[in-house]
Amino acid sequence: EQDVTEYRKTLAIRVSGFDVPKPIKSFADCGFSNVLTNAIAKQGYERPTAIQCQALPIALSGRDIIGIAKTGSGKTAAFVLPMIVHIMDQPELKKEEGPIGIICAPTRELAHQIYLEAKKFAKPHGIRVSAVYGGMSKHEQFKELKAGCEIVVCTPGRLIDMLKMKALTMLRTTYLVLDEADRMFDLGFEPQIRSIVGQIRPDRQTLLFSATMPRKVERLARESLTDPVRVTVGEIGM
């Protein structure tokens, strides 16, 4: 226990919440399949970043997370890798409809970066990722969603449009990521985010990442997450 406290200190990690899983020291501690381990190696990721060391074991244990860490700290893999594990754990993977995992991001550019990263880990597993943000016609997007996927990476507005068009259902969605939550609020997406969260089954796992934690974001986290573990890496401004 003393070792864990020391190790967190060296990574500048602070945690709060009950029964917080221990941080890992290497990807080998995650119990990933060979396919996922190879995909990580192919990316050239040799060891987990600080946020990954603490967020991976939390997310893999099924817990909700509030993750606060600055840009460039490796948050994408911290939520995508456990999402892949979560999806591969589902029985009858392709027999049912609609995404299992949904990732919301504030802008098309950020969503696209996540889409590219998610595809690298999803593809070797035969997991399909759909991009739901501006840049593709709504008609094309509709068709792609109708064809089926396990992961959707979206901006909130475009996902709402697709839900209204009945391009997808979120009935089997059990893993929700709200990335850069503070920026989504800055851009005025709070109503859309609340609508999306409200339409996803309450027994989902929810992961919220943000560079800062303004009060509005804090309130959403308190209302939308269940017994979250809060992880902060480094110094964070308000």
Binding site for ligand ADP (CB under 6 A): 45, 48-49, 52, 69, 71-77
Residue closer to ligand ADP (CB basis): 115 or 142: 115
Angle (nearest 5°) at CA 238 between 236 and 187:
115
Helices (H), the chain: 2-10, 34-42, 50-60, 75-88, 108-122, 138-147, 156-164, 181-186, 190-199, 215-224
Q: How far apart are the first and last CA of the chain?
A: 30
**Per-residue x/- track, 40-79, Mg ion (CB under 5 A):** -----------------------------------x----
Q: Cα dist. 106→20, 87, 216 in Å?
A: 29, 24, 16
Distances (CA, A) of 14 to 4, 11, 51, 54, 214: 11, 9, 10, 9, 18
What are the angstrom distances between the C-alpha of 237 and each of 68, 211, 212, 213?
A: 10, 8, 6, 8
Minimum distance, C-beta of residue 25 to Mg ion, in the bound complex (Å) = 23
Residue 92 has which token pair? 């009858």
Tokens at 140, concatenated: 């094309």
Give whichever of 26 and 226 is closer to ligand ADP, judged by the CB atom. 26
The strand pairing partners of 232, in sequence order, are 14, 68
In the list ligand ADP, Mg ion, none, the entry touching 23 (Cβ below 5 to 8 angstroms by class) is none
CB of 151 to ligand ADP, least distance (A): 16
Min. distance of Cβ 75 from Mg ion in angstroms? 5
Shortest approach of Mg ion to residue 180 CB, angstroms?
6
Residue 49 vs 173, nearer CB to ligand ADP:
49
Outline where 89-238 has alpha helix (H). 108-122, 138-147, 156-164, 181-186, 190-199, 215-224
Which one of ligand ADP, Mg ion, none interacts with residue 72, CB within 5 to 8 A by kind? ligand ADP
Residues 165-204 that bind Mg ion (CB under 5 A): none
Residue 44 CB, shortest distance to ligand ADP, in Å, is 6
Q: Which CB sits closer to Mg ion, 5 or 71? A: 71
The least distance separating Mg ion from the CB of residue 52, rounded to whole angstroms, comes to 12
For residue 91, the partner it binds in ligand ADP, Mg ion, none, with Cβ less than 5 to 8 A by kind, is: none
Q: Which residues bind Mg ion (CB under 5 A)?
A: 75
